């Protein structure tokens, strides 16, 4: 009798465990700010091999986020500072709310230039022990800025993220600021 009762409780708890985990899955607000750097001395006279750049994986199927940052946020303040500086150009700003799932289940988020199409790429936020961000961004500077034909620069990196901190992804020609914070608001239903 005890074994049957114990077995029943064990089976019921195992069956309900995934539901409990899904119900308590935290949401995160993700903010991304991508900017071009026009300081010529930062490239270190490097020569980039254009043949090694791979197409952005998942760009066409990627979800389109809001193209604005929340008013009053740290990255919105950074966007105002960088846009007023002569050595930087804002390429894209985006924000969205999502849960953290394993990489194989996460959806790519499309990041693209506001106006001129010089930036395109994807961002993935996923859970793998810690919260991670994977960026794959391609930037084509305006023709003539570097002389000759415009090359394509790639920033492809994946790393663990610190919540509440602005994380900087660096390339000599452009950079990305990423801020992830827990989200406690309501999420509107998609319809």
Percent pLDDT > 90 in the chain is 52
d(CA 164, CA 179): 7
**Predicted local confidence at residue 158, as pLDDT:** 95
Q: What is the pLDDT of residues 46-95, one digit of tens each?
A: 555 555 677 788 888 899 999 899 999 999 999 999 999 999 999 999 99
Beta pairing partners, 119: 139
d(CA 46, CA 44): 5
Of 141 and 33, the one with more pLDDT: 33
Q: Which two tokens stand for residue 100?
A: 């953290």
Q: Look at residue 144 and tell me whether its pLDDT is greater than 80.
A: no
**Predicted local confidence at residue 10, as pLDDT:** 42
- Tokens 């500072």, located at residue: 81
For the chain, report the end-to-end CA distance as a whole number of angstroms: 50
Give the residue-averaged pLDDT of 141-169: 83
Give the residue-averaged pLDDT of 166-183: 94
**pLDDT-based confidence at 16, cuts 50/70/90?**
very low
d(CA 112, CA 31): 14
Q: Which two tokens stand for residue 37?
A: 């750097």
**Predicted local confidence at residue 8, as pLDDT:** 47
Q: What is the pLDDT of residues 107-131, one digit of tens each?
A: 999 999 977 889 999 999 999 889 9
**Predicted local confidence at residue 44, as pLDDT:** 54
Q: Look at residue 172 and tell me whether its pLDDT is greater than 80.
A: yes
- The answer to which of 43-47, 92-96, 181-185 has the lowest mean pLDDT is 43-47
Length of the chain equals: 191
**Predicted local confidence at residue 164, as pLDDT:** 95
CA distances from 100 to 44, 92, 183 (A): 37, 23, 12
**Predicted local confidence at residue 42, as pLDDT:** 59
Alpha helices per DSSP H over the chain: 2-23, 74-83
Alpha helices per DSSP H over 24-127: 74-83
Rounded to the nearest angstrom, the gap between the alpha carbon of residue 121 and the centroid of all alpha carbons in its chain is 9
**Predicted local confidence at residue 48, as pLDDT:** 56
CA distances from 5 to 2, 16, 19, 20 (A): 5, 17, 22, 22
- Tokens 């308590």, located at residue: 24
Answer whether 158's CB lies under 8 Å from 135's CB. Answer: yes
**Predicted local confidence at residue 152, as pLDDT:** 87
**Which of 168, 159, 164 is CA-nearest to residue 182?**
164
Of 2 and 171, the one with more pLDDT: 171
């Amino acid at each position: 009798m005890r074994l049957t009762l114990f077995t029943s409780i064990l089976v019921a708890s195992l069956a309900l465990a995934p539901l409990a985990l899904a119900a308590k899955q935290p949401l995160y607000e993700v903010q991304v700010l991508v900017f071009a750097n026009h300081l010529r001395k930062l490239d270190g006279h490097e020569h980039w091999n254009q043949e090694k750049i791979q197409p952005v994986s998942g760009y066409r199927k990627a979800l389109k986020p809001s193209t604005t940052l929340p008013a009053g946020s740290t990255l919105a303040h950074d966007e105002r500072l960088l846009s007023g500086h002569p050595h930087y150009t804002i390429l894209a700003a985006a924000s969205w709310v999502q849960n953290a799932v394993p990489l194989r289940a996460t959806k790519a988020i499309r990041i693209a230039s506001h106006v001129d199409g010089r930036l395109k790429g994807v961002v993935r936020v996923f859970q793998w022990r810690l919260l991670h961000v994977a960026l794959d961004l391609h930037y084509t500077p305006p023709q003539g800025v570097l002389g000759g034909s415009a090359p394509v620069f790639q920033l492809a990196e994946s790393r663990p993220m610190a919540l509440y901190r602005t994380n900087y992804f660096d390339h000599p020609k452009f950079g990305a600021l990423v801020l992830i914070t827990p989200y406690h608001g309501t999420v509107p239903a998609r319809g």
